[in-house]
């Protein structure tokens, strides 16, 4: 029972708000049993990918490894990926997605003005700026990406 509760807690922390839990469920029936499977939106899958990519980037920067000079073009899907039904691609979203892409591109362009660490942290702060207005749930998780 204890394990069950902690799982539910983790799920709620990661999604934007608890309402989302109900909206994208797929019911799978194998004849004897019915399973409710949570289906992630395209945007949510992209976000998880961006999270994993930036976690790797953080590890590389902290280790002093050379960072690739190729911006991951898949990130541009932030402009088109389908969102969960409760989320809207409104003006705020468009504004922050543009700012985020600009900041993330900077990480891969060697600039003498700012260190790679500063450029990286700037891009993570743009993840956070959008999340503060659009989707507050994952903020504690995203903050772990910042390099101290
Ligand atoms: C322009 C706004 C915006 C930007 C920029 C943004 N996000 Fe998101 N993020 C969202 C929205 C909206 C969702 C919810 C998507 C959905 O439910 O369809 C989300 C969802 C997430 C989730 C939860 C995914 C899940 O379902 O478990 C994580 C984690 C996340 N974002 C991390 C990041 C990271 C890391 C960055 C930067 C590299 C980032 N986000 C940049 C708006 C943004």
pLDDT tens figures, 19-73: 444 445 666 666 777 766 777 899 999 999 999 999 999 999 999 999 888 999 9
Rounded distance from Cα 131 to ligand 1 centre (Å): 7
Nearest to 78 by CA among 31, 130, 24, 21: 130
pLDDT of 7 reads 40
Q: What CA–CA distance (Å, rounded) separates 85 from 78? A: 16
Number of the ligand 1 atom closest to the C-alpha atom of 145:
35
pTM for the full model? 0.84
Q: What CA–CA distance (Å, rounded) separates 117 from 91? A: 30
Domain spans of the chain, in order of start: 2-38, 42-143
Q: Which residue has the tokens 């992630």?
A: 40
Number of the ligand 1 atom closest to the C-alpha atom of 92:
1
């Amino acid at each position: 029972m204890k394990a069950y509760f902690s799982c539910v807690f983790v799920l709620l922390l990661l999604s934007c708000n608890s309402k989302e839990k109900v909206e994208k469920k797929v019911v799978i029936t194998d004849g004897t049993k019915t399973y409710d499977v949570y289906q992630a939106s395209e945007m949510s899958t992209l976000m998880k990918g961006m999270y994993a990519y930036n976690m790797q980037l953080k590890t590389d920067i902290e280790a002093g490894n050379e960072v690739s000079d190729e911006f991951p073009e898949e990130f541009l899907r932030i402009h088109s990926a389908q969102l969960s039904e409760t989320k809207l691609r409104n003006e705020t979203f468009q504004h922050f997605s543009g700012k985020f892409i600009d900041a993330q591109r900077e990480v891969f362009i060697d600039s003498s003005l700012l260190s790679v660490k500063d450029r990286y942290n700037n891009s993570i702060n743009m993840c956070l700026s959008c999340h503060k207005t659009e989707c507050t749930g994952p903020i504690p998780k995203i903050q772990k990406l910042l390099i101290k």
